[in-house]
Amino acid sequence: MTSIADHRVSRRSFMKWSGVAGGSAALVATAAHVGMPGIAPAAAADGMEGVDATVWNACLANCQSRCPLRLQVKDGTVVRVLPDNTGSDELGDLQIRACVRGLNQRERIYSPDRIKKPVKRVGARGEGKWEEISWEEAFDTIASEMKRVKDEYGNEALWYHYGSGSTGGNITKRGTWPRLINTFGGYLGQYGDYSTAQITAAFPYQYGGWMGSNSLEDAQHSQLQVMFGNNPLETRMSGGGELGVVQRIRKDFGVRTISIDPRYNDTAVDADGEWVPIRPGTDAALIAGMIHVMVTEDLQDQDFLDTYCVGFDEDTLPEGAAKHSSYRSYLEGKGPDGIEKTPEWAADITGVPADRIRRLAREIATTKPCAVTQGWGVQRHANGENAARAVFTLAAAIGQIGVKGGGNGAREGNYRIPVKAFPLFDGEAPPVSTQISCFNWIDAINDGPSMTDVKDGVRGKEKLDVGIKLMVVNASNTLINQHNGVHVTQETLKDDSKCEFIVVIDHQWTPSCDWGDIVLPSTTNFEENDLIPGGSCGDMGWAIWGGKAIEPLYETKIGYEMCTEIAKRLGVEEEFTQGRTQEEWRTWLFEGTKADFPDFPSEEKMEQMGVYRHHNPAGTTIAMKDFREDPEANPLMTPSGKIEIYSAQLAEMAKTWVFEGVTEGDKLTALPEQIDTWEGALEARENTEYPLQCIAHHYKGRTHSSYANLAKNLEAHPQMVWINPKDAADRDIENGDIVDVFSPRGTLRTEARVTPRIAPGVVSVPQGAWYTPDKDGVDLGGNINTIMKYHPSPLAKGNPGHTSLVQIKRHSRV
């Protein structure tokens, strides 16, 4: 029997040894002493005169940008990682320069956290006792367990776990394992994602389906940008991503920007516009207050609302809707709550002064064209579906949908090259149609047969027949690290009579690996071949050659090889592979792409080019342009074919959906109303024990939890909690102090960043830090889900990752 420490040197162990809470400097020093096998020192690499090869590949972390990289190899080792050297700094041809995350691939490839050999647990689940096993034993065990669970419970007991660690690839994406399980009869499906569940659920009821807004590149035609929680300069900060576009728009066109966010984020700083600090989860109230001003002063675009929308006014309500159920009636206090949504009402909820709400309303209504967008933080709340719909409604009220320089209130749209995707299944649909939300899988483990369509959002049938019994967790740290309520998750997974078998596949030993039954070491994407679709950034689409730079390290294997071996044991190898190797699948992807997009280069040409660009032939992306020009010929997929500010579907669902143990805010509404939720802004004012609203912003040093274990990233971007100077002074906290952030769920310890760049009464802990509990259960890594509550949102059953009330106290002064 061996400890997993025999296979790896854990970054979490570094932190424990050094006694550091936010201590990146000590971490770097410790890592330097240990050394990283196989990695050439940076200084030596920079001084080398020649390399054996330069191979194109990409950073595949889930920020959406997909930046090309050039890996320089000497003697079978990656010695340099260089950015894209094609393109320019002009819109439409931007150089796709990788950020601090993508350029640190050498440290990731040769990380001491690399998993070197297959292991199986030999103690209790989560106890941390492991034994090395051969690949043959691993494949045999996994195939045997898949057969057993299918025979005993059926295919719906199989679950492919949500994760974003490999979503940037194609064959190297999540495609291999889902394809394997689908060829074996399928598995319980999932809808939504941790990033966008609430807005994804909101779209169908207002717009009929997912919609992007106008591209940020199209903002060159705007006079004003209004960004609700939209922060591309931190979340997608590559040269070819929204960062490059936003900077060029500001430099070349000087478009004014209003940023509405609890944080003065980097996009607001760089855009040099106006920051409107707002209490988390109150965007719908701010918008109601602003539209109240517009209606009172006759500033709304009434022609647009009459022609294209349902339910803003009483005379456009659908048949059967109750009297005074329109949005205007809601604003005027004629609706069921009887409250007029004046700027003073909104100010009391949002913390934005009433006079400022009036000024913002007038500027937004009278400045044309005006581009309204929202990031995905707005909807990641306890009732984020309503907040997302409220931003859509603001865009409708000013009539800026479907026009150049405007926007529909969604996140920015983009242009993509239609790169062929590796198929997750053959045929028109997967073999199992039943789905649950990607977020409430914990309920399906604890008591799957109790989950229903109207209570838990089950789709495809009225209720589940069985719970999740076998999980495949591939390139995913959401088993523990990225899921709200770490302690709830651990208690559930400890009981292996519930979920009976868990296989984890990754190339870094993440906190989620601790809870597997078998852990398999995978390659990085730099150790295999692929065709990589480009990012979702502006109006320049691209694709990247995914070249194999080095041979697989240690005893790692590519996912396709793992799945082929298991498919062989399950008797479905031919169906899974269709007789193709991974390289032959890549040729298939090229052929399929070229069939749909004749200008696409050949494999040979693409390998030479590294990255292929193509600009939007329409110029810039204008969302819903056809609908605006002719709504009769181009109706939306809503029941009315129009924008449904009042949703009759939601009104009916509100009568039938069940919320057990109802908590404040768990309800559906036909209109995008402001709803007081559990642990929201209203409760924060009344809760003396936990008075601070805590959000979890995305962070420059990592993408979710990817790259969070790398010493250089931690040195450049150490973990911390943002706190306003007033709140810090009230608690005798100074900048740099080590503090405890705690809620009824748990405690994390990290460094305090005292800054006026966050609203009073609000704190923010960057999400994605690796969960690293000490012997007392205090998380020294600064993982936000230690203190967040597991409580799915009402409509999407999604992740309310910005909803939590906390307290902070000083632990020590450095």
User: Which domains does the chain possess?
Assistant: 2-85 (no CATH), 217-233+279-412+623-656 (3.40.228.10), 687-812 (2.40.40.20)
Lowest mean pLDDT among 162-171, 324-333, 552-561: 162-171
Local structure of 275: helix, strand or coil = strand
* pLDDT score of 462 more than 90: yes
Confidence grade of residue 49 (pLDDT, cut at 50, 70, 90) = low
Q: Is 671:645 a contact under the CB 8 Å cutoff?
A: yes
The mean pLDDT of the chain is 92
pLDDT of residue 175: 75
Confidence grade of residue 538 (pLDDT, cut at 50, 70, 90) = confident
478 or 175, which is more confident? 478
485-510 confidence digits (pLDDT tens): 999 999 999 999 999 999 999 999 99
Beta bridge mates, 452: 463
Distances 650 to 39, 154, 459, 644, 655 between C-alpha atoms, Å: 56, 33, 16, 10, 9
pLDDT of residue 814: 81
Under 8 Å CB-to-CB from 779, ≥6 apart: which residues? 486, 746, 747, 748, 749, 771, 772, 773, 786
* pLDDT score of 790 more than 70: yes
* pLDDT score of 751 more than 90: yes
Q: Is 152:576 a contact under the CB 8 Å cutoff?
A: no
pLDDT of residue 34: 27
| Residue whose structure tokens are 């591209």 | 215
pLDDT of residue 38: 34
How far is Cα 388 from Cα 681, in angstroms, rounded to an integer? 17
Mean pLDDT throughout 786-806?
A: 97
* pLDDT score of 740 more than 80: yes
Report the percent of the chain where pLDDT is more than 90: 85
Q: Is 720:751 a contact under the CB 8 Å cutoff?
A: yes
Take residue 10 and report the two structure tokens written for it. 């854990």
Confidence grade of residue 244 (pLDDT, cut at 50, 70, 90) = confident
pLDDT of residue 89: 84
Confidence grade of residue 27 (pLDDT, cut at 50, 70, 90) = very low
Q: Is 674:284 a contact under the CB 8 Å cutoff?
A: yes
Closest CA to 509 of 529, 546, 480, 472: 480
Mean pLDDT throughout 237-257?
A: 84
Q: Provide the sign of the torsion angle of the four alpha carbons 617, 620, 623, 624, taken in this order.
A: negative
Mean pLDDT throughout 270-296?
A: 96
> What single DSSP character describes residue 643?
E
385-422 confidence digits (pLDDT tens): 999 999 999 999 999 999 999 999 999 999 999 999 99
Confidence grade of residue 662 (pLDDT, cut at 50, 70, 90) = confident
pLDDT of residue 44: 37
